Every structure is written in C-alpha cells, then in structure tokens.
Amino acid sequence: MIRRAALLLCFILVLMPLGFTEDPDTQPAEFNFVRLQYNSGRGMDDFYGFGRFGSWATDAWEADYKYMWGIDRMTNVRQSKDPHPVPIMSPDLFKYPYIYAVEVGHMYLSEQEAERLREYLLRGGFWHCDDFWGLGELRSFISQMKKVFPDRPIEELAPDHPIFHAFFDIDKVIQVPNISLGRAYTQSGGRTRTFERGDDTEPRVFGISDDNGRLMVLITYNSDLGDAWEWMDDPDYPAVFTGYAYRLGMNSIIYAMTH
C-alpha cells in the first residue's frame, strides 16, 4: 500500500510540470516608480548607495515601497517591486516614461540636464514634482523649470482636468502635510496648520502641457504626498491625507499611462 502510494506520488510529481507553463507574473515590470536623482547644490547629491544626502532622496525608500504597495493593491499596473532611482543624465532615463521628483524647491538643473528633461518630456515622458513649499521654493522651482521649457506656462489645473478623474474622482485639492504637521493635526483634533511656509499657504496643483494639451509635468505645490505615502501606517498621521495622496498619485500614474 505504501509502495503504491509512493509510486502514485512520484507519478503526480513527474506529470505536474506538464500542466503548468510559465507564470506570467514572472514577467518584468511594465511600470517602475522612478525617483529622479537631481542635483540640489548641497553636495553629496549623487552619493547614492552610501547615504541619502540629496533632496532627491527625501522620504526614500519607505515612501516608495508603501506607495508601490498601494498601486499594486488598487490598480492593474504591473509594476516593479523595488525602488528605482535614475539620474537625469542616465542613458536609462528614456526607458522609463514616468519619473517622480521630491523637494523640487531645492532642485538645480544644468543646461544639459534641462535639455535632456525637455527632450524626455516631449518624447512622451511624464514628471511628477512634489513636496515644495512657500514662495521662495516656488520661485526657485519656476526658475529651474524655465530652463526646461522657457516658453511653456506653468498653469494651475482646474478640477475638471482629466488627471483628477483618471482613476479616482478628486473633486477638491487638499493640502497634504509632512509627518510632523500631520501628527500635530491629529493630536490637536484638526486645529493646527498643515502648511509649512506662511508666505503662501494654499495647496495648488500646477501643470505644464504639450502642444496637444497633454500634461507633461504634474506639480503638487504646498503638499507633501511623499510623506503621506511614507507614513501611511502611522496611527497619528491623518488617513484623510494618506487617502488623498494615494488617489492623486495613482491618478497621475494612470494619466501618464493613458495620455
């Protein structure tokens, strides 16, 4: 009896592989959440691998991982499970039509980098710029973006813009605070501020579009979506901000992959 059972088990084990083919999920990712490595002029920006000294690495890699989990759970986007930093001048940049840059108020672009980003965006790339606050950082960011597109306006996106409806319907732009302000907001029962700079407090979503109206650059000003992703599991960080950050982030990905 035992011999028969062992033989049957062997038989099943031999035949099992015939019934299965390659698992499609072992296929490479279609989408990579690419964090753009830029120079902020502070030094050590490019010191990736030995530390996270540059502004580009803010919130890395917790934000990346947790954001990707969300994408994985809620969308059909077949994405890489690992963070994916890419320097502006990397030859690989054009393999990834979506890039994310954080703390762009501290970003400094050389002419060569600006030209490369312009070419990237005109070919069809999409760039999400996040987490910069107040008029000073805004002016700095605009000055850098003028190197990329001297003649294209940076325009505030209206609520009916497709990016607010590509996956979730977002009716209102809200301010997503950093972790400190978010915790304080919870602890105060929603009475404390959520902005970082007093000279310009309202959250706004800007964009730069191509000649056909396709959004190339999404700019989430006076908001920190990265912190909301990074601290999504913090009990003191308000879920309302995390939810919004996820929704807008996923909308940007679906928009980038459909427009």
Site residues (vs another protein, CB under 8 A): 21-24, 26-28, 30-31, 74-78, 94-95, 97, 119, 122-125, 166-167, 212, 214, 253-254, 256-259
Contact 34, 43 (CB under 8 A): no
Longest dimension (CA), the chain: 83
Cβ atoms within 10 Å of 163's Cβ, excluding its own: 19
CB nearer to another protein: pick between 48 and 94: 94
Distance of closest approach, residue 190 Cβ to another protein, in angstroms: 31
Distance of closest approach, residue 137 Cβ to another protein, in angstroms: 29
Cβ atoms within 10 Å of 28's Cβ, excluding its own: 7
CB nearer to another protein: pick between 197 and 259: 259
Distance of closest approach, residue 101 Cβ to another protein, in angstroms: 18
Distance of closest approach, residue 246 Cβ to another protein, in angstroms: 13
CB nearer to another protein: pick between 93 and 232: 93
15, two tokens:
């035949």
**Helix (H) / strand (E) containing 98:** strand 98-102
CB nearer to another protein: pick between 75 and 90: 75
Block residue for tokens 């809200």:
174
CB nearer to another protein: pick between 98 and 221: 98
Report in angstroms the alpha-carbon separations of 203 from 82, 128, 134, 151. Answer: 30, 15, 10, 24
Helix, strand or coil, per DSSP, at residue 34: strand
Distance of closest approach, residue 22 Cβ to another protein, in angstroms: 5
**36 Cβ contact list (under 8 Å, min separation 6):** 56, 85, 86, 88, 99, 100, 101, 127
Distance of closest approach, residue 122 Cβ to another protein, in angstroms: 4
177, two tokens:
């605070």
CB nearer to another protein: pick between 76 and 172: 76
Strand partners, 85: 35
